[in-house]
Amino acid sequence: MDLTEARKRIIVAVDVPDLDKAWEITDKLDSTGVLFKIGLELIVPFGIGEILNRLTTDQIENDRFFIDAKLCDIPNTVGAAARQIAMCDVGMFNVHASAGADAMAVAVQNRGVSKVLAVTILTSLSNEQCKEIYGNEPNDAVLLLALLAHTAGVQGLICSPKELTMLHEHRVAEDMLKITPGVRPTWAAANDQKRVMTPAEAIRAGATHLVIGRPITKPPESLGGELYERMEKAVDLIAAEIAGAPAEVVA
């Protein structure tokens, strides 16, 4: 895999509180070819339509955006929300697998040209926290939710890279995208992520895309240069790791 293709496997988490800051990040990184995740910090105050109107340009089209709304409600409400998001022609949006197979299925029915991703267990949860909430270890909880997601026909799963090998062994998600937060290069701090891997480790384990926020948007000064120079360097370093992973795993 070459570096151009590797950059397309990176989803930059644009987790900032205002549209001007979001635009600065997407504008500076548009030429790298990465995708962009828009989460609740922007969605709540501004709405998806206003965000896309501000951030999309001739270079950055709607399909490079992943709307991280984590829909979780009764099927009728999830379906209605999915229909509204689908009108924006974004590349991907997500639902919580814990909403159940019916809610995920109706999101799939209403997805338009967008891909639906199912969130399993948040990567900020430790093993103990996972057991407190779901009554299971992360592997068991993720497997159950992944089976529900597969039944519902979603196009991708979101899980920790730590669960990718288990999913491969159970042949649950072979035909799905596998999107992994909880990815941290060796030169970046783990922050609030608990179940983490490096980019190369995650790709070798079977991830198709990596969601990475602060290592790119708040890169360490040790990378050298001004902020946006460091952001581009961070993308290049991560892309080089991805490109170095076995091509047959990433394909």
pLDDT higher than threshold 90 for residue 172: no
The verdict on whether residue 30 carries a ligand-binding annotation is no
Residues 122-151, mean pLDDT to the nearest whole number:
93
Catalytic residues: 68, 70, 73
The verdict on whether residue 193 carries a ligand-binding annotation is yes
The verdict on whether residue 15 carries a ligand-binding annotation is yes
pTM value? 0.92
Which domains, from first to last, does the chain contain? 3-244 (3.20.20.70)
Task: Dump pLDDT digits (tens) for 182-239.
Answer: 888 887 665 555 557 889 999 999 999 999 999 999 998 999 999 999 999 999 999 9
The verdict on whether residue 18 carries a ligand-binding annotation is no
Give the pLDDT score at 245: 61
The 3-state secondary structure of the chain, one letter per residue: CCHHHHHCCEEEECCCCCHHHHHHHHHHHHHHCCEEEECHHHHHHHCHHHHHHHHCCCCCCHHHEEEEEEECCCHHHHHHHHHHHHCCCCCEEEEEHHHCHHHHHHHHHCCCCCEEEEECCCCCCCHHHHHHHHCCCHHHHHHHHHHHHHHHCCCEEECCHHHHHHHHHCCCCCCCEEEECCECCCCCCCCCCCCCECHHHHHHHCCCEEEECHHHHCCCHHHCCCHHHHHHHHHHHHHHHHHCCCHHHHC
Task: Dump pLDDT digits (tens) for 48-103.
Answer: 999 999 999 877 899 999 999 999 999 999 999 999 999 999 999 999 999 999 99
pLDDT higher than threshold 60 for residue 251: no
Task: Dump pLDDT digits (tens) for 7-45.
Answer: 999 999 999 999 999 999 999 999 999 999 999 999 999
Confidence band (pLDDT; 50, 70, 90) for 1? confident
